[in-house]
Amino acid sequence: MTTPGRDLQTFAQELAPLLPGPHWRAEYTRYSQYEDQFPYESGLWDTNHLSAAVADLVLEDGAVLTQEATGTRLYLIRRPRHPDQFLIGAYAPEVFNVDAYTNVDAPDGIAVPDHAPTAADAIAQDFLLRYQAALDQVRRAHAGQAPDEVIMTWYADGALAARAASGPAMNVLIANGFHYDTDERAYVLPDTEPAAQVRLVQKMGAQLTQRGIGLIMRHPPKTALPEFKVAAPPARTAVPSARRR
């Protein structure tokens, strides 16, 4: 299959030193026959366009970009029917048992333009972040650890409280305006307009997902409430150390 467009070998050599982190190298291979591309399909951590192209189409060539320090391996090919684009994705590290990947979504590869600096930005700001998040989940599963998650409770009075166990999860909460309340033993959000709260939770959900952290939304148990009457609030007695769910 002859495809006009940017030379893949040159593009791979330009792209490698622009990727984040030190010591990326590109290894280019031209496939003289269809069977030559088969070994490059094995181990691809992708369920989308990249793995489909390698499995179903006859490719001319490809390149493997490897970061020596971490062992991260990326696979680069021309994007079929798009001469001004390439597809890039990753190989799953072989050091973890197969079961560790069972409940982890593959960090599917992306299409990038044939301009190396622009492609490097897209890889660093999108693909590699998702790859690292997925890899963190695999590491935890391999070590038998519980998945990292934030448990957020939305109370009837509009209060929003969250609990997080890991440093990355706590950092997301703090960056979005939560502060730790020692009485509640949770991170709480100062009074915020409801619509703004919804937007904030959606934004945080995306940030947490990008880091491989789950977000669980809960509401306190519903109880029968008396009809409201205008009256002075009762004096508070003991304050619980945490809101009860």
Distance CA 35, CA 93 (A): 23
Q: Is residue 28 part of a domain?
A: yes
- Helix then strand then coil, in percent of the chain rounded to 5, is 35, 20, 45
Global pTM reads 0.61
Q: How many domains does the chain have?
A: 2
**Average of pLDDT values for 223-237?**
37
Which residue type is seen at 43?
G
User: pLDDT, tens digit, for every residue of 197-216?
Assistant: 888 888 888 888 888 788 88
Domain extent for 16: 8-142
| Pair 85, 155 in one domain | no
Is 200 within a domain?
yes
Residues 169 and 130 in one domain: no
Instruction: Give CA–CA dist 245/236, Å, rounded.
Output: 19
125 and 65 in a single domain? The answer is: yes
In a domain, 234, yes or no: no
Q: Based on the domain organization, do 61 and 160 belong to the same domain?
A: no
> What pLDDT sits at residue 37?
93
173 in the same domain as 129: no
pLDDT tens per residue across span 42-53: 899 999 999 999
Q: Do 134 and 165 belong to one domain?
A: no
